[in-house]
Amino acid sequence: MARYIGKRLIYMLITLALIATFTFFLMKILPGSPVASADKLSPEQRAIVEARYGLDKPLPVQYFDYMFGLAQGDLGISINQFKGANVTDVIQSRMGPSAQIGFQGMLLGTFLGILLGMIAALRQNTWVDYSSTLVAIIGISIPSFVFASMLQYFFALKLEWFPVALWKDGFMSSVLPSIALAMFPLATAARFIRTEMIEVLGSDYITLARAKGASGTEIAFKHAFRNALIPLITVLGPMAVGILTGSLVVEQIFAIPGIGEQFVKSIMVNDFSIIMGTTIFFSVFLIVVILIVDILYGIIDPRIRLSGGKS
């Protein structure tokens, strides 16, 4: 197992280096420079600013400077969005709210999704099943900004149950954004668990369990559930991506001082180091999620646990 994880870590580093390289050059190809937006500067002043951030050096030198810094954990300095602040510090200071709504959203969504999918599978082709499918379709097809705005309009503006925006009321501020983020994992989990449960319930070992005299509940929870859960783990990755991209919009709508909101703004003002830093941060996050998913896979599924241990 240790060797397996070690191997995976090396792959992760390679992946990261590739992502950093691509993003770096993509950014350089894009029109506009962080300094250009400050068009009140004279050419001399501009040159001074550019020199300060190393933007005057040839591209390969800039690239190696950046990668060298990255290797040491240095993400550089914000150029205009947070003038002069260390990018690592910026990300750290903004991680709290993002992590909170992301985590809450994921937990809520997965939990409700599993519940919904289970009920749908056990009551296959009844109205319960059809309504759960409807919820899943809505969850997947309605973009999170529409959903977030609707929540904000009804539950904050009209009913005034929750604060409209800003991150001022602790947990209460996090409720609506978390629910908005939960929709995608909810829909994904519900669809997945339903399909898997139906498949598992039709398998030979379930028939054998019934032949042993197991009751409906025992079949569903003791025998089928765990087996239906395994494939769900594989979509935890895409679900995390959904949360991440969702957070870009949702944080914007609820004016939450999180990483997503900051990322969107940094793109608007062309803050090269923040964009790079956040992209790399997101990548690390996703790569780690995928690793965790693979490890979890082995814990739940004894067949994989064993072969993973041997290799």
Partner 1 sequence: MEKILQVKDLELSFNTFAGEVKAIRGVNFDLYKGETLAIVGESGSGKSVTTKSIMRLLPEHSAEFKNGEILFGGRDLTKLSDKEMQKIRGKEIAMIFQDPMTSLNPTMPIGRQLTEPLLKHQKISKAEAKKVAIDLLRLVGMPKPELRMKQYPHQFSGGQRQRIVIAISLACNPQILIADEPTTALDVTIQAQILELMKDLQKKIDTSIIFITHDLGVVANVADRVAVMYGGKIVEIGTVDEIFYNPQHPYTWGLLSSMPSLDAADEKLYAIPGTPPDLLSPPKGDAFALRSEYALQIDMEQNPPFFKVSETHYAATWLLHPDAPRVEPPATVIERMKKFPGSRYYEGSRV
Within residues 132-161, the interface with partner 1 by CB under 8 A covers none
Compute the C-alpha angle 100/102/108, nearest 5°: 100
Shortest Å distance, C-beta 129 to partner 1: 13
CA distances (Å), origin 215, targets 116, 167, 192, 211, 292: 21, 49, 24, 10, 34
Minimum CB distance to partner 1, residue 233 (Å): 13
Instruction: Rank residues 1 and 306 by Cβ distance to partner 1 and give the closer one.
Output: 306
Binding of partner 1 by 93 (CB under 8 A): no
Least Å from the CB of residue 301 to partner 1: 6
Q: What residues does 86 pair with on adjacent strands?
A: 77
Pick the piece of the chain touching partner 1 (CB under 8 A) from 28-36, 69-77, 170-178, 302-310: 302-310
Smallest distance from partner 1 to CB 292, Å = 19
- Nearer of residues 158 and 303 to partner 1, judged by Cβ: 303
Rounded least distance, CB 303 to partner 1, Å: 5
- For the CB of residue 215, give the shortest distance to partner 1 in the complex, in Å: 6
Residues numbered 271-290 forming contacts with partner 1, rule: CB under 8 A: none
Per-residue tokens: 129: 């099943």
C-alpha span between 139 and 93 (Å, rounded) = 31
The 2-31 site mask, x for binding partner 1 (CB under 8 A), equals ------------------------------
Least distance from partner 1 to the Cβ atom of residue 311, Å: 16
- Cα–Cα distance measured from residue 21 to residue 247, given in angstroms and rounded to the nearest whole number: 25
- Residue whose CB is less far from partner 1, 168 or 303: 303
**Nearest residue (CB) to partner 1, 125 versus 141:** 125
C-beta closer to partner 1: residue 64 or 205:
205
Output the smallest distance, CB 198 to partner 1, in A: 12
Q: List the interface residues with partner 1, window 192-251 (CB under 8 A).
A: 203-205, 207-216, 222-223, 226-227, 230
Contact set with partner 1 (CB under 8 A)? 203-205, 207-216, 222-223, 226-227, 230, 300-303, 306
